Amino acid sequence: MASFEAITSAGIAKIPVSFKKVAIMANRDFELMDAIKTQLELLHEIEVISYPIDVTLSQSKFTKALQAQNAAFLLSKVTTDLQLNSRLFLAMQAAKIPTINSIFAMHTLDTRKRTFLYLHKHCPEVLTPQFYLSVKEAIRALNKGKKILLKRNAHNIPKDRRFLGVAEDAKDLKLMLEGVGKDEIFLQEYMGPCENTVYKVYFIGHLAMALKSIKLKENAFTARNENDIQERFELRIPLEESYREMGQVLRMNAYGIDYVVAEDGLEYVVDVNDFPSYRGIDEALNLLCDFLIRHFLNLEGPVALQHASK
């Protein structure tokens, strides 16, 4: 992960005492969350509480514990755990603490099936690969000459566990599914190697930043590794507007979108992330902290936009 650039304390707006508390609840992307915590504490004198995720707590106890923090807002980044997360999201909703993205978005993007079903229904202008809700549907597609990419349905899990492979026929598919529950799998049309390139678009508030990730050996759909080449690029305005509208529909402020360019020359969204890690975006820490200060505390803060247009 790229190291995050810190800003100096010169000209930092002082925040009223009544607003000086933020809660963080995370069990992933610790480097980014620790960097946000450090910058808010050192530069803005905000008390940041790392709220532990206790898997034994009921929804009502989670709610009371969150309310007891008396925080101005909550930053949440959690791995996919359907049983636990259902309690967490209900608790956050009941506690009525502002979150950087809507609880609805966090719930929707927690699994790939929910994500792509929602996009298919509510964002039809956004192109996505064909997906299959059952093994039978996938086998029918394989028999017609399609290739199927197998992913874990759980979204926020370690990257080395997200992809199971590409099936070229029914035999391949059945072998890859051995020992894996059908509900754990997301079946999606394989778009080809796509020149081993994934295009990543990151949003923070109204700002959009784009990064091209090129793999030297594996195809574009495998997990990221140290051999990847990452380059900034300028996103086409129509595409940026389309992805921004998607974020507005899901009520998100900080999110990421991965897309590939298929053989037909069109852009297909293959992943949507709520509150991503912003790897490769060195100015992300400054922009996130600035957005949190302005949006949630309604105060003028340092503007770290000089890199955003690069």
Write down the domain spans for the chain: 17-100, 112-127+193-274, 131-189
**Residue at 133: amino acid letter:** L
Give the per-residue pLDDT at 83.
Answer: 87
Give the per-residue pLDDT at 20.
Answer: 67
Cβ contact 53:4 at 8 Å: no
Give the per-residue pLDDT at 223.
Answer: 63
- CATH code for residues 17-100: 3.40.50.2300
Q: Which of 161, 213, 189 minimizes the C-alpha distance to 268? A: 189
Q: In Å, what is the CA distance from 154 to each residue of 41, 150, 157, 230?
A: 33, 12, 7, 26
Instruction: Record the pTM.
Output: 0.86
Q: Which of 310, 289, 54, 48 minimizes the C-alpha distance to 302? A: 289
Is the Cα torsion angle 164, 83, 95, 117 positive or negative in sign?
positive
Could you give the CA distance from residue 249 to residue 105 in angstroms, rounded to a whole number?
A: 9
Could you give the CA distance from residue 138 to residue 164 in angstroms, rounded to a whole number?
A: 15
Could you give the CA distance from residue 121 to residue 135 in angstroms, rounded to a whole number?
A: 21
- CATH code for residues 112-127+193-274: 3.30.470.20
* Class of residue 119 by CB neighbours under 10 A (exposed 0-12, middle 13-18, buried 19+): buried
**What is the arrangement of strands in the sheet containing 73-77, beginning at the earlier edge strand?**
47-50, 21-26, 73-77
Q: Which of 121, 95, 97, 92 minimizes the C-alpha distance to 107? A: 92
Averaged pLDDT in 10-residue chunks for the chain of 310 residues: 36 45 91 95 88 89 89 90 91 92 95 96 96 95 95 85 91 91 90 93 96 81 73 95 96 96 95 93 94 77 36
> Which residues 6+ apart lie within 8 Å of 96 measured at CB?
none
Give the per-residue pLDDT at 309.
Answer: 32
Task: Go through 61-96 and write b for each residue having 16 or more CB atoms within 10 A of its CB, e for each that does not.
Answer: ebbebbeebebbbbbbbbbbbeebbebbbbbbbebe
Give the per-residue pLDDT at 70.
Answer: 85
Strand partners, 185: 152
Give the per-residue pLDDT at 249.
Answer: 95
Give the per-residue pLDDT at 162.
Answer: 86
Cβ contact 160:225 at 8 Å: no
